[in-house]
């Protein structure tokens, strides 16, 4: 087998250090995301996003609105 040089030891140490830093960064990002998700109730819109406006069926049942919007009375 060959001789392990100082350059090889330094390279392996640098790679190991980068992997450790990456693990710490990913762990912190996951913790931040978990905190953000747990702060919201189910179905709430996250801050910075507009709520969806595709619930037309629910709009029919709001008080003060007609049951069939856009249609005239028959008969």
Residue 28 structure tokens: 């912190």
pLDDT per residue as tens digits for the range 49-59: 776 666 555 55
CA angle 9, 15, 17 (to 5 degrees): 100
Whether the Cβ atoms of residue 10 and residue 16 lie closer than 8 Å to each other: no
pLDDT at 60: 55
pTM for the structure as a whole:
0.49
pLDDT at 26: 96
Alpha carbon of 3 to those of 6, 8, 10, 11, 15: distances in Å?
10, 10, 14, 15, 20
pLDDT per residue as tens digits for the range 3-48: 889 999 999 999 999 999 999 999 999 998 888 777 766 666 666 7
């Amino acid at each position: 087998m060959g001789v392990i040089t100082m350059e090889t030891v330094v390279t392996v140490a640098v790679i190991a250090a980068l992997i450790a830093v990456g693990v710490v960064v990913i762990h912190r990002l996951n913790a931040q995301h978990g905190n953000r998700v747990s702060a919201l109730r189910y179905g709430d819109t996250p801050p910075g996003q507009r709520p969806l406006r595709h619930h037309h069926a629910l709009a029919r049942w709001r008080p003060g609105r007609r049951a069939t919007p856009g249609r005239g009375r028959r008969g």
